[in-house]
């Protein structure tokens, strides 16, 4: 088995565990757009100019996979833009294009 296959299986397992935990807590099965914005913002490591941890971040990829399953495609761009805006960085366009390419690569 390839390393990428193993990593994908681990992500799917963690996602299933999170989903089961969320359901057992009595919460709804799906998250809202605001939940995804807040979670994505919490995963960023940034300063006043740039977000640093975008490439090869497994947690961001997992969040994008969940987002693709739970919210409509027309909302994905809003999640990216609002999470970047919430970080209040100077290089917004670069961060958006990098996040968008990660999201597109998951297809």
Output the CA–CA distances (angstroms, integers) from residue 96 to 24, 66, 87, 91, in the order listed: 35, 19, 12, 9
Q: What is the pLDDT of residues 57-80, one digit of tens each?
A: 899 999 999 899 889 999 999 999
Output the CA–CA distances (angstroms, integers) from residue 1 to 5, 9, 15, 107, in the order listed: 6, 11, 21, 21
Other beta carbons less than 10 A from residue 80's beta carbon: 23
Q: What is the pLDDT of residues 23-57, one digit of tens each?
A: 666 555 678 899 999 999 999 999 999 999 888 88
Greatest C-alpha distance within the chain? 42
């Amino acid at each position: 088995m390839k390393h990428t296959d193993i990593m994908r299986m681990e992500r799917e397992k963690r996602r299933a565990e999170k989903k089961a935990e969320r359901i057992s807590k009595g919460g709804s099965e799906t998250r809202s757009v605001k939940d995804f914005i807040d979670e994505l913002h919490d995963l960023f490591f940034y300063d006043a100019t740039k977000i640093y941890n975008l490439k090869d971040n497994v947690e961001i990829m997992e969040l994008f996979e969940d987002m693709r399953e739970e919210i409509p495609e027309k909302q994905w761009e809003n999640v990216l833009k609002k999470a970047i805006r919430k970080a209040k960085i100077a290089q917004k366009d670069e961060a958006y294009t990098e996040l968008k390419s990660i999201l597109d690569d998951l297809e």
